[in-house]
Amino acid sequence: MSFFGVARKDIRLLRSRPRDLLINTAVPLAMAILFGYLYSPKGEPSSKIEIAVIDLDKSTKSQLLVESLGAEDTLQVEPMAEAEARELIEKGKLTAAVVIPERLGEKLNITAMFEDERPELPLLVDPSQSMSFSMLEGILTKVIMQQLGRAFGDRDLGLEQLELALGSVEQFDTGDAQRQKWRSFFQTGIEALKTMPAEETITGAGDANAPGGFELPVDIVRRNVVRKGGRFNAYTHSFAGMLIMFLFFVAIDGGVSVIDERRRGTWRRLRVAPIGRSALLASKVVSTGVQALFVALVMFLVGIFFFGVRVNGSLPGFMALLLLSACTAATFGLMLMGLGRTEGQVRGYAMFAVLLMAFLGGAWFPAWMLPGWLRTVAMGVPTSWMMEGFYAVTWRGLGFSAVALPLAALAGFCVIFAVIGLKTFRWDE
Amino acid sequence: MPPLLRVEKLQKSYGEIRAVEEVSFEVNPGEILGLLGPNGAGKTTTIGCICGLLEPDSGTVDIGDDPVASRPLEARRKLGVVPQDLALYEELTVEANLLSFGGLYRMSSARLVDRIKWCLEFVQLADSRDKRVAQLSGGMKRRLNLAVALMHDPELVLADEPTVGVDPQSRSHIFENMEALARAGKAVVYTTHYMEEVERLCARAAIIDRGKVAAMDEVPALLDLAGKARRVRLGWTGGIIPEEERRKLEERFSPSAMSVEGAELHLAFDGPVPVTGMTAWLAAEGHELSVFSMERPTLEDAFLKLTGRRLRDR
């Protein structure tokens, strides 16, 4: 049947291009393995959230709280001064900081669970990392409740807490009937503790969600930390991330364009025109750069006019970053022009490289979610520097100095890509 | 008038293979020089060296006063290349293609507009200026391929087998275009492996084989190389005649040469061809002919005589 004949022909053609076959299977495999590795549960958590603890209380209870936070597998805790922590959060170098206010230890007892006005526990967070706030809120809740629970593990401490609570029942804003139930509950607890051996513990002190139930004895208060004038907008991340990825897609098209011109025969026409070799190659790089810049401008303009994306930081820094990002993409295209032999080959390898760079650079999801070693590896790709730079001059509201390093890194990538492209470019047909 | 193109002792090798060896020729303004040779003879390599796409191992190429090696950009400004394969942007319109390639030659907008108009009229594509190239017929694409090379009004036109795969009408158009260019004082180098094209278009031709110029002269002089003999081709309806009959024919009419070519018998006569006597004899002997033609010597014959091979052997 001709149907099978055509299918056989296609398979034969595919087999004649083993590289294409390899790319088509290797790229999804590599991506699947990478994501699988990152999301798979391990003995050690793949990524620890770096937080600072500012202990203004310095009481036994506050120190116990710091120790409990430090013992958490998912946290990397460092004691720090508040100003330093704020500075690091503003620059995106720290996820969050827990501020333990003065005299919190005193207020951290069972009666606070029934009070309308509970002591605050400020949590300074990077607004771009809202997921980390939810995780931290959960961890803090657990740690504080464990700390309160420990009181009931100690007969005398438990008695002290329950007697304190019994004395405060009149202040509970729960109605007479409910107050009577609590009074009875605490009295029963006190009597039980008095008669129980010291090693036993009271658990299940009621349903926290039930009306009139007790609450976490502190209010964890979220406080976004951004430089004055800065304002986080989730679209800033998605626009910057997608822009960066698509800048490199433009670069792939630029890289393929010379192969395409060769295939069409128009490369020969360009070469016999009165244009020097360097000018011809430069024109190709410039046209890729202009396309990349156009994409970048359109993306940001749409973001600014319709989605609240703002350049809150240095405008010259932002413009320089746009320009250098376009240059990086254009020279990446030049490198592909040099290294590529066939369109399929270039598209396959380059697509893999771009997806990997987008992933490592935090274009898809924030880079802080990556394991520490991978974040170090990510320093070796331009996308990380682009993301860092765009974050700094957009919602973080930082000055030009904050993008100096990303700009220098991108300039370095431009040089590396251009040198590889020029060294490997073939002028012969 | 000084030659517009001067090629001297051009040599180019690819590894062990000598693609072009000691090739020298000149082309004057208003002249069409034919480069005739089979595929792989070195014609395209020669063209590549002339337009600077290939760097010759030795030898020089001058376009006007400009050596291609030392003043490539100046030399290329005088040069228009019609490549063997179509070199067009299929997704663009005819006009956009002309504009795109013309834009490479530093012309003012007004000049570009003028040249586009001239080129479209020259290749008779004015009615198709807004059509995308993909919509054009093969012959129209070939004509556009020529027009693109003429956008900057070059003094020298290198046409590398410009009629490959075109219909007779478009081929005729291209011939007329080449002749018009020569009349306008342009120098044209026309490579082909079709001897008829050289005979039709060129006053002079170089016969190239295995990278060397086997002969270069005025076309009539090259035809003389094949001898003055006229050839008669005979074909029989029932296949080639037996050897005994062939011998009888040879004895009776004394051709200067006789050979069997496929299903035909070829006879060469240095003097007048005995057409009447031969047809009468063949009829009397009861031979039924399917082919009877008389031909003068061609460049094909000259090529055969010079190289011992046919133009389309390879």
**A403, A321 contact by CB (below 8 A):** yes
Q: How far is CA B40 from the centre of its chain?
A: 14
Give me the interface pTM, i.e. the ipTM: 0.80
**Are B199 and B260 within one domain?**
no
Q: Do B51 and A272 touch (CB under 8 A)?
A: yes
Q: In chain A, which residue's Cα lies nearest the Cα of B72?
A: A274
Mean pLDDT rounded to a whole number for chain B: 88
Say yes or no: B215 and B273 in one domain: no
* Residue A80 located in a structural domain: yes
Burial class (CB in 10 A: 0-12, 13-18, 19+), A422: middle
How far from chain centre, in Å, is Cα A92? Answer: 10
Q: What is the Cα A91 distance to its own chain's centre?
A: 13
Cα angle at B84 between B82 and B86, to 5 degrees?
80
Same domain for A243 and A374, yes or no, is yes
- The residue of chain B with its CA nearest to that of A283 is B104
Position A384 in a domain: yes
Q: How far is CA A69 from CA A53, A65, B59, in A?
A: 9, 6, 82
Q: Rounded CA gap, B98 and B129, in Å?
A: 9
Give yes or no: residues B151 and B232 share one domain.
no
Question: What mean pLDDT do residues A273-300 have?
Answer: 88
Worst-scoring range by mean pLDDT, A268-277, A284-293, B79-88, B281-290?
B281-290
The domain in which residue A187 lies consists of: 49-224
| Cα distance between residue B175 and residue B164, in whole Å | 13
**B171 and B285 assigned to the same domain:** no
Last residue of a domain, one of A209, A224, A239: A224
B204 in a structural domain = yes
Domain of residue B253, CATH code: 3.30.70.980
Same domain as A301, residue A235: yes
In a domain, A78, yes or no: yes
Tokens (6 digits) for A425: 């470019």
Query: What is the band of A151 on the pLDDT scale with cuts at 50, 70, 90?
Result: low
**Which tokens in the block code for residue A2?**
């001709």
Rounded to the nearest angstrom, the minimum Cα separation between B181 and chain A is: 20
Based on the fold, state whether residues B131 and B237 are members of the same structural domain.
Answer: no
The reply to whether A173 and A321 lie within a common domain is no
> A11 lies in a domain?
yes
Q: Is residue B306, in this structure, part of any structural domain at all?
A: no
Contact A265 B148 (CB under 8 A): no
Q: Do A392 and A300 sit in the same domain of this protein?
A: yes
Is there a single domain that holds both residue B218 and residue B253? no
Based on the fold, state whether residues A288 and A154 are members of the same structural domain: no
Do B55 and B128 fall within a single domain?
Answer: yes
Question: Cα distance from A265 to chain B (closest Cα, Å)?
Answer: 4
A59 and A126 belong to one structural domain: yes
Q: B79 and A429: CB-CB below 8 Å?
A: no
Question: Could you tell me the pLDDT band of residue A166, with boundaries at 50, 70 and 90?
Answer: confident
User: Does the structure show a pLDDT above 60 at A70?
Assistant: yes
> Containing domain of residue B197, as a range?
5-224
Give the residue from B224, B254, B275 where a domain finishes: B224
pLDDT recorded at residue B226: 73
Query: Is A429 within the bounds of a domain?
Result: no
Pair (A33, A142) in one structural domain: no
* Total domains present in chain B: 2
pLDDT of residue A113: 66
SS3 A78: strand
**What is the least distance, in Å, from the CA of A272 to any CA of chain B?**
6
Residue B265 lies in a domain: yes
The whole-angstrom separation of Cα B282 and Cα B262 is: 20
- Mean pLDDT over A282-311 rounds to 88
Number of domains within chain A? 3
For residue A214 the two structure tokens come to 């007790």
Is B273 among the domain residues? yes
Handedness of CA B85, B91, B95, B97 (dihedral sign): negative
Residue B128 lies in a domain: yes
The answer to the question of residue B26 being in a domain is yes
- Regarding whether A126 and A5 lie in a shared domain, the answer is no
Residue range A1-33, pLDDT digits in tens: 455 666 666 666 666 667 766 765 666 566 556
Residue A385, in any domain of the structure = yes
Same domain, A242 and A145: no
- Spell out which residues of chain A touch residue B89, defining contact as CB-CB under 8 Å: 264, 266
Q: What residue of A is the nearest CA neighbor of B102?
A: A273
A257/A149 same-domain check: no
Spatial CB neighbours of B155, under 8 Å, sequence gap ≥ 6: B4, B29, B63, B64, B78, B79, B186, B187
Same domain, residue pair B202 and B247 = no
Indicate yes or no: CB of A269 within 8 angstroms of CB of B101. yes
Task: Region of A55 please: left (phi>0), alpha (psi -120 to 50) or beta.
Answer: beta
Residues B53 and B199 in one domain: yes
Same-domain pairing of A209 and A259: no
**Yes or no, beta carbons of A270 and B74 under 8 Å apart:** no
Looking at the partner chain, which of B53, B88, B101 has a beta carbon nearest the beta carbon of A271? B53
Q: Which two tokens stand for residue A41?
A: 């549960």
A240-244, A409-413, B19-23: range with highest mean pLDDT: A409-413
Do the domain assignments include residue A95? yes
Residues B68 and B187 placed together within one structural domain of the fold: yes
Contact A273 B105 (CB under 8 A): yes
Residue A171, domain member (yes or no): yes
pLDDT band at A34 (very low <50, low <70, confident <90, very high): low
Among candidates A265, A274, A275 on the partner chain, residue whose Cβ is nearest the Cβ of B83: A265
Q: pLDDT tens across B198-247, in order? A: 888 999 999 888 889 988 999 888 888 777 777 888 888 877 777 888 88
- Rama region for B294: left / alpha / beta (φ>0; ψ in -120 to 50; rest): beta
- Do residues B287 and B239 make contact, with C-beta atoms less than 8 angstroms apart? no
pLDDT band at A203 (very low <50, low <70, confident <90, very high): very low
CA atoms of A154 and A150, how far apart (whole Å): 7
Residue B280, judged by CB atoms within 10 A of its CB (0-12, 13-18, 19+), counts as: exposed
The reply to whether B133 falls in a domain is: yes
Residues of A in contact with B88 (CB under 8 A): 264-266
Encode pLDDT of A71-107 as tens digits.
Answer: 887 888 899 999 999 989 888 888 889 999 888 877 7
Distance from CA of A262 to the nearest CA of B (A): 9
Residues of A in contact with B90 (CB under 8 A): 264
Neighbouring CB atoms inside 10 A of A344's CB total 16
Closest CA to A413 of A243, A237, A247: A247
| Bridge-based pairing state of the strands B264-269 and B230-236 | antiparallel
Structure-token match 């663009």, residue found: B92
Same domain, A361 and A218: no
Dihedral sign computed on CA atoms, order A418, A420, A423, A424: negative
The answer to whether residue B246 sits within a structural domain is yes
The alpha-carbon gap from B296 to the nearest alpha carbon of chain A, in Å, equals: 39
Does B207 lie in the same domain as B100?
Answer: yes
On whether both B220 and B241 belong to a single domain, the answer is: no
- The beta-carbon neighbor of B53 closest among A268, A275, A276 is A268
How many Å apart are CA A244 and CA A383, to the nearest integer? 7
